Amino acid sequence: PTTVLWFRRDLRLRDHPALLAAAGAGPVVPVFVLDPAFDGAGAARRDALHGALRSLHEATGGALVVRRGRPEEVLPALVRETGAAAVHVSRETTPYGRRRDAEVERALDVDLVATGTPYAVGPGVLRKADGTPYRVFTPFSRAWRDHGAPGPAPLPAVRWGAAPTDPAGARVLAGPDTGRAGGAGEDAALRRWEAFLDNGLERYAERRDRPDVAGTSRLSADLKLGTVHPRTLLADVAAHRAGGSRGAQTFVSELCWREFYADVLHHHPASAWADLRADLGSLVYDDPAAEPTATRFEAWRAGRTGYPFVDAGMRQLLAEGWMHNRVRMVTASFLVKDLHVWWPHGARHFLDLLRDGDIASNSHGWQWAAGTGTDAAPYFRVFNPVAQGLRFDPDGDYVRRYVPELAHPAGAAAHEPWRHGGAPGYPERVVDHAAERVEALARYEAARR
């Protein structure tokens, strides 16, 4: 019988267990639903999604059906039209995804069959010996490694079934390829990945913290959209000549962070927008809508805080819809500890602009920086934005790439223009880091008492 494959965070054909399950039964009608719940997503995330949909449309020989509407209405209608015997999906574990899938399941009179997840190890699978979920990365990562991932799923021979796309879907499929970040879709993801395997993996450990060099894989939006599955990456790393290198180990550990955060979100859905650690609930933050914080918050968003490393990151985010991980950490810390703004306000801004915007990685990345989340960074560790810049962008190249006002002074001096006669057009520092650090620590001490 015909089945429907409802694509979500799995916009690829290779290594796709749900496609394998669907294709075994007969013709497959592939569909993507433009869900109004995501209308608020920022332009970079929408471009990345639409690019991946166009690529998937091509890969299915034009079979991909794209329709706009609430999934619990679109899917039952498609099932009636096609006479499909089941709807296949990859299992979703985010709070919204789970609610949505439960509603779709109620609305369908055929089965919603979930096979696989966007992760090497499905969120919720690993538990401590006492049956409770992990809250600390290192033991989670040990259990994750011991558990291991199945090898990539084989590519099935698929007979695509047909159904019409609606006008909203047709507009998306006809859209221009914005061509950002080397192209969207599965083939582009695999090209990016092969380039990283050849030129980046072995030296990843030394270079991953350097925003001035292209030392990371740039696969985050691909992993977010599922144009590549992490299991494929893990299998390729294991088979690679540099598979045993420190670079490879560090890279695998970063993939594990992504899986850890998805697991934490699965067990604590509220942590998407609220402190995971309850003990800092009385920490006092400033109202981001009231002065002087409102002006400073706006300066942070615009990349005009007067701290070059922070500003370069915020401007990279505005220009590219992506920011280097080291700088994400520093800019997040600056908002929380120097401007005393509660992390969800910053997380919302990131999620609006990042093309890889992902609720689990973003919110928990913010909680890590804010000291309210899982184990990693205690609140009292406050990043010094100048020292971080000098250390990880030693020649000032990254800062100068995004902040043209800092063309002079040359070299590392770009991180401290105030010590070198200033830079025309570049703003004064909005706060004094040393003073705000003391203030942040005082608030923290008060909250713990």
Q: Residues annotated in the binding site for FAD, as ranges?
A: 204, 216-220, 251, 254-261, 356-358
Among 73, 325, 392, 437, which residue interacts with ligand FAD (rule: CB under 6 A)?
325
Residue given tokens 């690529």 in the structure block:
55
Tell me if 224 contacts ligand FAD by CB under 6 A. Answer: yes
Tell me if 217 contacts ligand FAD by CB under 6 A. Answer: yes
Of 300, 277, 297, residue with least CA distance to 288: 297
Can you name the residues that pair with 65 across neighbouring β-strands? Answer: 31
Helix (H) or strand (E) holding 188: helix 186-199
Q: Which stretch binds ligand FAD (CB under 6 A): 126-134, 250-258, 263-271, 383-391?
A: 250-258
How big is the site for ligand FAD, counted in residues (CB under 6 A)?
27
Tell me if 220 contacts ligand FAD by CB under 6 A. Answer: yes
Tell me if 297 contacts ligand FAD by CB under 6 A. Answer: no
Identify which of residues 91 and 328 has a Cβ nearer to ligand FAD in the complex.
328
Between CA 379 and CA 381, with CA 380 as vertex, the angle to 5 degrees is 90
Identify which of residues 32 and 193 has a Cβ nearer to ligand FAD in the complex.
193
Give yes or no for a contact between 50 and 175, defined as CB atoms under 8 angstroms apart.
yes
Q: For the range 398-404, what are the long-range contacts, defined as Cβ-Cβ under 8 Å and sequence gap of 24 or more?
A: 398/211, 398/212, 398/309, 398/312, 398/324, 398/327, 399/308, 399/309, 399/311, 399/312, 401/212, 401/312, 402/303, 402/311, 402/312, 402/313, 402/315, 402/316, 402/319, 403/303, 403/308, 403/311, 403/312, 403/315
Looking only at residues 354 through 393 of this chain, which bind ligand FAD when binding is defined by CB under 6 A? 354, 356-358, 361-362, 365-366, 369
Q: Which stretch binds ligand FAD (CB under 6 A): 87-95, 126-134, 171-179, 325-333?
A: 325-333
Tell me if 223 contacts ligand FAD by CB under 6 A. Answer: yes
Q: Which stretch binds ligand FAD (CB under 6 A): 29-37, 117-125, 212-220, 441-449?
A: 212-220
Among 103, 166, 187, 254, which residue interacts with ligand FAD (rule: CB under 6 A)?
254
The residues, any chain, with a CB within 8 Å of residue 237's CB and separated by 6 or more, are: 197, 201, 243, 248, 251, 252
Among 219, 265, 314, 386, which residue interacts with ligand FAD (rule: CB under 6 A)?
219
Residue given tokens 């590219």 in the structure block:
320
Euclidean distance between CA atoms 218 and 220, whole angstroms: 6
Backbone angles phi, psi at 282, to 5 degrees: -95, 5
In the annotated binding site, the residues are: 204, 216-220, 251, 254-261, 356-358
Q: Residue 16, SS3?
A: coil
Identify which of residues 79 and 354 has a Cβ nearer to ligand FAD in the complex.
354
Tell me if 350 contacts ligand FAD by CB under 6 A. Answer: yes
Tell me if 426 contacts ligand FAD by CB under 6 A. Answer: no
Distances (CA, A) of 145 to 119, 138, 142: 13, 11, 5
Tell me if 328 contacts ligand FAD by CB under 6 A. Answer: yes
Can you name the residues that pair with 66 across neighbouring β-strands? Answer: 32
Give yes or no for a contact between 259 and 144, defined as CB atoms under 8 angstroms apart.
yes
Q: Which stretch binds ligand FAD (CB under 6 A): 5-13, 167-175, 249-257, 381-389?
A: 249-257
- Residue 130 CB, nearest distance to ligand FAD (Å)? 26
Measured at CB, which residue is nearest to ligand FAD? 365
What tokens does 285 get?
Answer: 């933050």
Tell me if 257 contacts ligand FAD by CB under 6 A. Answer: yes
What is the contact surface with ligand FAD in residues (CB under 6 A)? 208, 216-220, 223-224, 254-255, 257-258, 261, 325, 328-329, 332, 350, 354, 356-358, 361-362, 365-366, 369
